[in-house]
Amino acid sequence: MFESISPELIRLGLSPFFMQQLHALEGEGQVGRVACERRGQYEVLTSTGVRRASLSGRLEHRLGDDDRPTVGDWVVVEPSEPVGRVVEVLERQSVLRRAVVDGTSRAQNLAANVDVCCVVAALSDGDAHTRRRALNTRRIERYLATAQGSNIPGLVLINKADVVSAEEAEEALQSLAPLHARVLLVSARTGQGLSELHAELPTGTSAVLLGSSGVGKSTLVNALLGEERQRTSAERADDSRGRHTTTERQLLELSSGALLIDTPGMRELALWADSDTELGGFDDIERLAADCQFRDCRHESEPGCAVLAAIETGTLAAERLQHARKLEKERLFQQARVDVRLRSEQAARQKTLSRAVRVQLKNKGRR
């Protein structure tokens, strides 16, 4: 039998959604949440502390690449020394994914069972020569689209507010207004905005931090933790950008009772999509499209297009529509590649099964 549900597991985010799955399972084991993956092994937070575990052979054979445990997953571990065995992975409430950077159609799981995705950018993201601190709006849009496409609410954190004047900070915030997302201006150094951020992460909330290298995610995590737990590096003098320090995803507990998944900085975030994935993050365009004269309006040159009318009046930026089109094209392309791969894998499994049945029937006839 599984261990009784303890307050420690509830604190780690074990909700009725996962409890129901445990009640339906048969067998024995210790329940825990994956905090880190390192060299093929997992660090699992349990009611009795951290336990190292690896996938059981049966589970490794059964799971596809997209279903392997990732940070934030709930698992059942069969205790053994020195390394336990993960024998079950519970169904996820949410999972944040990107397409792997090797150009294949496979996904890389970034975090599972999170309630909010904190997209971190920095006001020092600028040109090293001109020291301009313009935010990359299109990059932030891509992060938000990835989160909301997985039905995970997005929160934009503009870090390093202390490196610019109040006027520059306000100008940066105004540049993000078209995103229609919740935005907080924060500084890990001075503590600006941290109380508001803590309010966005109440007890029991699981959040993930995403962002490019050098935007100060690890410094921000340390500020939230109240201690120097995550390794950081000094900023470059020419553009105030930090150096890449975080190398693995890790689940951390805040004193407030919230849980935070820190992730390495990403040079690129390629959209991943299967047949169920929709493009998120552009609700404003969808609301406008509902008023178009034609239901199948492509927002190009059709008469009565409410989206084009909004661009003409200045209430919608043309660049935002162009980026939405680009991401939708990328989503459809990735979706088609995934569908082809899944059909190919299914056909291969069917072929293997048919071959095994033929061999069994042939051997049966010889008896």
**In the chain, where the domains are located:** 7-89, 95-262, 273-367
Radius of gyration from C-alpha coordinates of the chain: 24
To 10 degrees, what angle do helices 318-366 and 137-149 make? 40
DSSP conformation class of 65:
G
Can you give the pLDDT at residue 21? 92
Condensed to tens digits (0 to 9), the pLDDT of residues 128-143 reads: 444 445 688 888 988 8
8 Å CB contact between 172 and 164: yes
Can you give the pLDDT at residue 106? 72
Can you give the pLDDT at residue 210? 92
| Range 95-262 classified under CATH 3.40.640.10 | no
Can you give the pLDDT at residue 199? 94
8 Å CB contact between 308 and 286: no
**How far is CA 208 from each of CA 22, 155, 280, 285, rounded to the nearest angstrom?**
25, 10, 17, 26
Can you give the pLDDT at residue 202? 92
Can you give the pLDDT at residue 145? 87
Span 273-367 CATH architecture? Orthogonal Bundle (1.10)
Can you give the pLDDT at residue 240? 46
Tell me the average confidence (pLDDT) per consecutive run of 10 residues in the chain, 367 residues long: 77 93 85 91 92 91 84 92 91 88 72 95 60 72 87 92 86 83 90 93 93 88 81 50 64 92 82 68 88 90 92 90 87 71 58 66 63
Q: Percent of the chain beyond pLDDT 90?
A: 37
Q: Which amino acid is at 159?
A: N
Give start and end residues of each alpha helix (H) in the chain: 7-11, 16-24, 57-62, 137-149, 166-175, 194-200, 217-225, 283-289, 306-313, 318-366
Task: Please name the helix (run of DSSP H) or strand (run of DSSP E) that holds residue 87, with its range, or none.
Answer: strand 84-89
Condensed to tens digits (0 to 9), the pLDDT of residues 82-111 reads: 899 999 999 999 999 887 766 666 778 899
Can you give the pLDDT at residue 239? 46
| Range 7-89 classified under CATH 2.40.50.140 | yes
For residues 71-98, b (16+ Cβ closer than 10 Å) or e, as one string? bbbbbbbeeeeeebbbbbbbebbbbbbb
Tokens of 266: 């990403």
What torsion, rounded to 10 degrees, do the Cα atoms 115, 274, 323, 289 define?
-90
